[in-house]
């Protein structure tokens, strides 16, 4: 598929990790784990909301 | 006869996938999309199968045990009323709630003046569809969710929890249902995942069909841009719900994006250019798509023939079966074509005769899957379903 400019909130994302990271105190260890858990649950919220449009 | 359900499943899966790849299996696979038909066979009401998905699952398994079907949708009634009730969705009419318990659920499309997205909101939608969904669309489609800036409510906060949990609990239950279909019935799950076209989504859930018709004439560039904005989201949802093993096709539900619902010009300039790239990308990733072409798509068969060989299975509803066979069968498998009115009002002998005609015309060389034209609700007679199944088993041998 032709590459389009990235939208402000890309597919699969409700609140981007980069936006959330600015709100947090310094992460002292394993930022990757914090990021992963944020993105996993954020992606679930995205899917639930969009599936109301698509499936229900 | 297979010795075990596992062996039966393996035979049916091979038969089904061979046909979907446009090959010639041992015989024609039977893959009926039975929705509220399961009520006719089991005695449940539409209300019972809609309000309790475990009842719908059980009724589906009962049908699979009683009919020799190769593949089936794990719950084609599809709507579990728990979800719209949790989210307070306004656009459903649910059996048993102001509607006869023996009538299937309905979608209610609001009039133009009450569309869930106004004509002057295209730019906001295009700029950030997910934000529009949360900030504008959900508050309008829900009785409980309030828009940002409005006084918050207990019911608003609760609606998000309940909607999310209801969707997760329902979707998660499909895993066990698919497993039970396999181990208890030897039946294959027919599809995995969901795709819809941007233009259909725009009409179905945002502008309404009449609103979209006006937009196509007055502001076609906005419609095209909105479809382009939807594409990455619909593709993401399709990929994330597709079969990881790439065995089963994505279900693609095609509603009102064919002539005469839209013009050929709008098909060519808006619908197809915002759908075809998604189909090509899905195929590039190895995912086949079942074109569940509700209605009559004769005007667009040449466009579909542009798609990569094997990338779709074309399902025949009101499309002329012979025209579909001529235009597409050299590249794709076909399915369906038995008219629902015949299954509802005809006799078993008429059903057998029609199935014979259909098999002779489009199913002689493989690459065909037996099914009705459209999803079967509770007007399909049990004796006609039995005739379709038994005749296909007997006559549809290669």
Beta bridge partners of B338: B372
Q: What is the pLDDT of residues B268-283, one digit of tens each?
A: 999 999 999 999 999 9
> Where would I find the H helices in chain B?
5-20, 37-42, 46-51, 53-66, 82-87, 122-127, 129-132, 138-141, 154-180, 198-201, 208-218, 220-241, 264-266, 272-284, 301-304, 321-328, 340-345, 348-362, 382-395
- Cα distances (Å, whole numbers) of residue B293 to A50, B125, B242, B308, B364: 23, 28, 19, 18, 22
- Binary contact (B167, A14; C-beta < 8 A): no
B331 CB neighbour count, 10 Å cutoff: 18
pLDDT value of residue B202: 98
pLDDT value of residue A8: 74
CA distance A21 to chain B (A): 19
Average pLDDT, stretch B384-391?
Answer: 98
Q: What is the pLDDT of residues B28-75, one digit of tens each?
A: 999 999 999 999 999 999 999 999 999 999 999 999 999 999 999 999
Evaluate if residue A6 carries a pLDDT over 60: no
pLDDT value of residue B385: 98
Is the distance from CB of B122 to CB of B222 less than 8 angstroms? yes
d(CA B268, CA B109): 26
- Cα distances (Å, whole numbers) of residue B43 to B38, B48, B257, B386: 8, 10, 36, 16
Average pLDDT, stretch B324-338?
Answer: 98
pLDDT value of residue B2: 79
CA distance A24 to chain B (A): 22
- Binary contact (B231, A45; C-beta < 8 A): no
Q: Where are the domains of chain B?
A: 5-395
> Where would I find the H helices in chain A?
17-21, 31-54
d(CA B116, CA B221): 20
Evaluate if residue B304 carries a pLDDT over 60: yes
Q: Which of A12, A14, A52 sits opposite B236 (nearest CB)?
A: A12
pLDDT value of residue A7: 61
- Cα distances (Å, whole numbers) of residue B86 to A21, B78, B132, B152: 32, 16, 21, 17
User: 3-class DSSP state for residue A47?
Assistant: helix
In this structure, the dihedral spanned by the alpha carbons of residues B165, B167, B173 and B174, taken in order and rounded to 10 degrees, is -160
Shortest CA distance to B34 belongs to which of B184, B181, B242, B244? B181
Residues of chain A with Cβ-Cβ distance to B108 below 8 Å are none
Average pLDDT, stretch B87-104?
Answer: 97
User: DSSP letter string over B55-76?
Assistant: HHHHHHHHHHHHS--SEE-TTT
Beta bridge partners of B91: none
**What CATH architecture is B5-395?**
Alpha-Beta Barrel (3.20)
Q: What is the pTM of this model?
A: 0.96
d(CA B116, CA B113): 9
Within 7-46 of A, beta carbons closer than 8 Å to B belong to 7-14, 44-46
- Binary contact (B233, A51; C-beta < 8 A): no
CA distance B346 to chain A (A): 32
Is the distance from CB of B112 to CB of B119 less than 8 angstroms? no
How many residues comprise chain A?
A: 56
Evaluate if residue B76 carries a pLDDT over 90: yes
Shortest CA distance to B46 belongs to which of B35, B33, B57? B35
Nearest CA in chain A to B282: A1
Shortest CA distance to B318 belongs to which of B265, B255, B387, B381? B255
Helices B348-362 and B382-395 cross at an angle (nearest 10°) of 40
């Amino acid at each position: 598929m032709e590459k389009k400019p990235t939208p402000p909130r890309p597919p699969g994302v409700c609140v981007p990790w980069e936006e959330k990271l600015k709100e947090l105190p310094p992460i002292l260890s394993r930022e990757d784990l914090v990021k992963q858990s944020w993105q996993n649950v954020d992606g679930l919220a995205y899917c639930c909301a969009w599936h109301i449009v698509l499936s229900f | 006869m297979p010795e075990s359900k596992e062996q039966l499943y393996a035979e049916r899966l091979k038969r089904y996938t061979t046909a979907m790849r446009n090959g010639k299996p041992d015989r024609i696979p039977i893959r009926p999309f039975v929705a509220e038909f399961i009520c006719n066979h089991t005695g449940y009401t539409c209300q019972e199968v809609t309000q309790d998905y475990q009842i719908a699952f059980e009724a589906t398994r009962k049908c699979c045990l009683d009919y020799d079907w190769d593949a089936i949708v794990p719950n084609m009634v599809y709507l579990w009323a728990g979800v719209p009730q949790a989210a307070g969705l306004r656009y459903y009419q649910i059996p048993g709630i102001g509607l006869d318990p023996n009538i299937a659920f309905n979608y209610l499309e609001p009039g133009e003046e009450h569309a869930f997205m106004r004509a002057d909101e295209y730019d906001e939608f295009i700029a950030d569809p997910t934000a529009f969904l949360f900030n504008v669309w959900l508050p309008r489609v829900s009785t409980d969710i309030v828009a940002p800036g409005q006084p918050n409510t207990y019911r608003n906060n609760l609606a998000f929890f309940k909607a999310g949990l209801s969707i997760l609990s329902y979707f998660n239950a499909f895993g066990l249902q698919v497993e039970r279909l396999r181990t208890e019935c030897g039946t294959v799950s027919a599809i995995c995942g969901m795709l819809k076209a941007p233009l259909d989504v725009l009409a179905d859930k945002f502008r309404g069909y009449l609103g979209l018709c006006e937009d196509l004439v007055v502001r076609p560039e906005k419609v095209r841009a909105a479809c382009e904005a939807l594409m990455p989201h619909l593709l993401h949802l399709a990929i994330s719900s597709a079969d990881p093993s790439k065995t089963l096709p994505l279900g693609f539900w095609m509603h009102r994006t064919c002539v005469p619902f839209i013009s050929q010009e709008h098909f060519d300039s808006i619908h197809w250019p915002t759908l075809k790239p998604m189909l090509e990308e899905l195929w590039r990733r190895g995912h086949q798509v079942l074109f569940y072409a509700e209605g009559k798509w004769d005007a667009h068969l040449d466009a579909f023939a542009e798609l990569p060989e094997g990338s779709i299975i074309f399902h025949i509803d009101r499309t002329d079966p012979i025209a579909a066979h001529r235009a597409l069968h050299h590249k794709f498998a076909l399915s369906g074509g038995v008219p629902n009115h015949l299954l509802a009002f005809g006799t078993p002998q008429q059903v057998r005769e029609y199935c014979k005609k259909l098999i002779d015309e489009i199913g002689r060389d493989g690459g065909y899957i037996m099914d009705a034209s459209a999803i079967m609700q509770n007007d399909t007679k049990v004796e006609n379903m039995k005739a379709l199944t038994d005749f296909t088993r007997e006559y549809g041998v290669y």
